[in-house]
Structure 1
Amino acid sequence: MDQDLKALENTTLKIAGVVTESIVDGPGIRYTIFTQGCPFHCKGCHNPQSQPLKGGMDVKLKIFYDEIKQNPLVTGVTFSGGEPFIQAGALSLLAKVLKREGYSVWSYSGYTYDKLERDDKFRSLLEQIDVLVDGPYVQSKHSMDIDFRGSTNQRIIDVPKSLAQDKVVLAEGFV
């Protein structure tokens, strides 16, 4: 067994829940992990139960990996919340293994790309994801006419291109 797979067995993530077949958290059928804990407490949050740092449940990363691998319909994985980046280390490991196996990896964050890109504790996860939906949910900017976001201030960012060009590059094909 390779070292990363072994690490999945020994690493836990505090979660609020999962959706094993989501079509609203990115393109295709996705396995979505809702992390527990969020410092933002956005007014009108879609997942207020995921905000407290205490609560939720601890789950070994290997459990997620096995569930994802067992479902041939799943083409991608999305980290949502709560705030995924407060558990960047564990999610970085899971993302690394999943990307190596061909899954697309998206993450939502209340932090902006610029903040994540400059902070070493967040950078490890940022470097493992394909797409970031950044920025806090702003209830006054809520829209049902945009793809995969709750409010118009949030951006859908192509992370590999953004890192390579050292500037935010929006993912193409989304409204």
Structure 2
Amino acid sequence: MNIADYKKFDVINGTGLRHSIFTSGCQHHCKGCFNPLTWNFNYGTPFTQSFEDQIICDLNIDYVRISGLSILGGEPFQNVSGLLGLVKRVKNECVGKDIWVWSGYTFEEIIADESRLELLAYCDVLIDGKFILEQRNLKLQWRGSENQRVLDVKQSLSRGQAVWLDLS
């Protein structure tokens, strides 16, 4: 797996102050994608054990409150084997940190695939659905088009259906 970018102290991709990784590789090829360079699975730099260790260290800094990790792409769910170890470590070693993930797959498509479901189970928030240029709305928070949803993963998995995240 390659990483297209890593942004420390990100305030755009989720609630609070976060660190965000952008995976390389996506086969959705959404028209109007904001990050088409990440379609190429070979774009960026290899995801190494030392880079994973750095992310864990960065999430545990003590001089500022980091809310969690955001995983974007590319398409994270086309990099399950590369991300599974990282999300497990975040849950085990980064107390109180949440994981947000963006995907062109819908919740229903993800839970139908056992390996994708395993990755999803470690996440807290899923922004799902392909970006649809004709439904673009620049006023939406954390998503680019009207069809995309911001879902509470734990509630969705518990109920077996998509449940919108309640931020009230």
TM-score of the pair, normalised by structure 1:
0.87
Specify every segment of 5 or more residues in structure 2 that has no aligned partner in the other structure, as ranges. none
**Partner Cα distance (1:98, 1:55) in 2:** 25
Q: How does 1:69-148 map to 2 (within 5 A)?
A: 69-70=60-61, 72-100=64-92, 101-148=95-142
- Displacement of 1:54 after TM fit? 1.9
Question: Which of 20, 25, 30 is the equivalent residue of 2:18?
Answer: 30
- Displacement of 1:81 after TM fit? 0.3
What code does the residue aligned with 1:133 have? I
Question: Which of 57, 62, 66 is the equivalent residue of 1:66?
Answer: 57
For structure 1, which segment, 105-114 or 17-26, has the greater mean C-alpha deviation from structure 2 after superposition?
Answer: 17-26
**Partner Cα distance (1:47, 1:170) in 2:** 25
What code does the residue aligned with 2:53 have? K
What secondary structure, in the 3-state scheme, does the structure 2 residue paired with 1:70 have? coil
Match in the other structure for 1:150: 144
Identity %: 33
Specify every segment of 5 or more residues in structure 1 that has no aligned partner in the other structure, as ranges. 1-12
CA RMSD of aligned residues (A): 1.5
- Displacement of 1:37 after TM fit? 0.4
TM-score of the pair, normalised by structure 2:
0.90
Match in the other structure for 2:41: 53
**Partner Cα distance (2:42, 2:139) in 1:** 34
Displaced runs of 4 or more, over 4 A: none
Work out whether residues 137 and 145 of structure 2, in 8 Å CA contact, stay in contact via their aligned partners in 1.
yes
Match in the other structure for 2:160: 166
Length, aligned pairs only: 162
What code does the residue aligned with 2:15 have? P
What secondary structure, in the 3-state scheme, does the structure 1 residue paired with 2:47 have? strand
Match in the other structure for 1:9: none
